[in-house]
């Protein structure tokens, strides 16, 4: 099935890994089929949204039967390029960066942090979670040696974020997951996702105080 990925809404695209993770768990438990209602209960996305998301990919299920778990799993694995490993670099091995290195993402999907960078001499030359930590001053040297590392995770002080981003852009980075409070300036062809944990927490507290769950919809 040929799918024009550009016509799939970004909100739908962001939910696909969530569906995929749940389907992996279903497959591991031996379950062979699942309804949109069961999916909805598990991933906390309403059934109508799930059916609409799936409709962008054609007829993935049958009315009255639901969805074949093996078929969905195979389909989403291909759609999300799960058989193709994507190497990621991490910049900033502080508390948050160290946690990422210990967790690493290969446990859940097709991404792996393959190298990390920091300025702290006590960390340079070490391995954390099996990932080598290099001197940030030698970023270009190490990245050019390895070649294709299209994604970077930034967990550095906000004041350093833009200058490091500029260096990553020069190296041909395609995507940045930014955990700093800084709002980074990047060319249009580079995808950047900002995750400010403090803002997310403030937002959660605000919604708890002023909105019910039903009001948000």
User: What mean pLDDT, rounded, does the chain reach?
Assistant: 86
One domain for residues 92 and 166: yes
pLDDT (0 to 100) of residue 35: 86
One domain for residues 101 and 159: yes
What is the count of structural domains for the chain?
Answer: 2
pLDDT band of 26, cuts 50, 70, 90: confident
One domain for residues 71 and 95: no
Q: Is residue 108 part of a domain?
A: yes
pLDDT (0 to 100) of residue 5: 56
One domain for residues 90 and 69: no
CA 7 to chain CA mean position, Å? 20
Whether pLDDT at 211 is above 80: no
| Verdict on whether the full-model pTM lies above 0.75 | no
pLDDT (0 to 100) of residue 171: 95
Location of structure tokens 């389909």:
75
Q: Is residue 211 part of a domain?
A: no
Q: Which whole number is the average pLDDT over 83-99?
A: 91
The binding site comprises: 92-97
3 close to 55: Cβ distance less than 8 angstroms: no
Whether pLDDT at 6 is above 60: no
One domain for residues 22 and 109: no
One domain for residues 106 and 191: yes
Whether pLDDT at 126 is above 90: yes
One domain for residues 34 and 114: no
Region of poorest pLDDT, from 4-18, 114-128, 162-176: 4-18
What CATH number corresponds to the domain at position 107? 3.40.50.720
pLDDT per residue as tens digits for the range 180-197: 999 999 999 999 999 988
One domain for residues 67 and 156: no
Measure the CA–CA gap between 24 and 72, rounded to whole angstroms. Answer: 10
Q: Is residue 122 part of a domain?
A: yes
What CATH number corresponds to the domain at position 56? 1.10.10.10
Whether pLDDT at 61 is above 80: no
Domain range spanning residue 170? Answer: 86-199
Whether pLDDT at 27 is above 80: yes
The binding site for NAD(+) comprises: 92-97
50 DSSP 8-state letter: H
Percentages (nearest 5) of helix, strand, coil residues in the chain: 45, 20, 35
Q: Is residue 217 part of a domain?
A: no
Whether pLDDT at 213 is above 70: no
One domain for residues 42 and 104: no
Q: Which whole number is the average pLDDT over 3-31?
A: 81
Look at residues 204, 205, 198, 203 and name the one whose alpha carbon lies nearest to residue 182: 198
Neighbours of 60 (CB within 10 A): 17
One domain for residues 75 and 118: no
Q: Is residue 129 part of a domain?
A: yes
Q: Which whole number is the average pLDDT over 16-45?
A: 87
Q: Is residue 142 part of a domain?
A: yes
Q: Is residue 148 part of a domain?
A: yes
């Amino acid at each position: 099935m040929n799918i024009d990925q550009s016509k799939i809404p970004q909100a739908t695209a962001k939910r696909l890994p969530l569906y995929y993770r749940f389907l992996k768990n279903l497959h591991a438990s031996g379950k062979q089929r699942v309804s949109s209602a069961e999916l909805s209960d598990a991933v906390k996305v309403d059934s109508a949204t799930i059916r609409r998301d799936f409709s962008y990919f054609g007829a993935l299920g049958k009315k009255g039967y639901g969805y074949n778990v093996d078929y969905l799993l195979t389909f989403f694995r291909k759609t999300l390029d799960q058989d193709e490993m994507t190497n990621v670099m991490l910049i900033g091995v502080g508390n948050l960066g160290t946690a990422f290195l210990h967790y690493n993402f290969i446990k859940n999907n097709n991404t792996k942090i393959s190298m990390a960078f920091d300025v702290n001499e006590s960390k340079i030359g070490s391995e954390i979670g099996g990932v080598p930590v290099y001197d940030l001053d030698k970023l270009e040297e190490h990245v050019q040696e390895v070649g294709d590392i299209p994604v970077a995770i930034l967990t550095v002080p906000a004041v350093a974020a833009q200058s490091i981003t500029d260096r990553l852009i020069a190296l041909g980075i395609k995507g940045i997951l930014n955990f700093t409070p800084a709002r980074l300036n990047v060319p249009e062809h580079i995808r950047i996702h900002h995750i400010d944990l403090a803002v997310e927490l403030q937002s959660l507290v605000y919604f708890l105080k002023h909105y019910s769950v039903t009001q948000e919809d």
